[in-house]
Amino acid sequence: MKITLQIPSQYLLDKSASEFGKRMTLYAALMMFQEGSLSAGAASEFAGADHYTFIAECQQHNIPLVDECQ
């Protein structure tokens, strides 16, 4: 599936549209993992990142890898 967004160029923050799209996809995967919609494996696949890179991104964004409520 392809989703098209209209993003004003001033928000690209000196990144190409492709780089910005990849970053948005990563952020969406992080959010869906954090809310429990995706497992870590599914979220890393969604983001197009290997598992270790996704774990590092979770740590960088202070997203716990284990549900602390259990």
Residue 9 is assigned to a structural domain of this protein: no
pLDDT digits (tens, 9 = 90+) for 55-64: 999 999 999 9
Residue 66 is assigned to a structural domain of this protein: no
Residue 33 is assigned to a structural domain of this protein: yes
Whether the CB-CB separation of 58 and 30 falls below 8 Å is answered with yes
pLDDT digits (tens, 9 = 90+) for 6-57: 888 888 877 788 888 899 999 999 999 999 999 999 999 999 999 999 999 9
Could you tell me the pTM of the whole model?
Answer: 0.84
Residue 40 is assigned to a structural domain of this protein: yes
Residue 20 is assigned to a structural domain of this protein: yes
Domain count, the chain: 1
Range of the domain at 51: 16-60
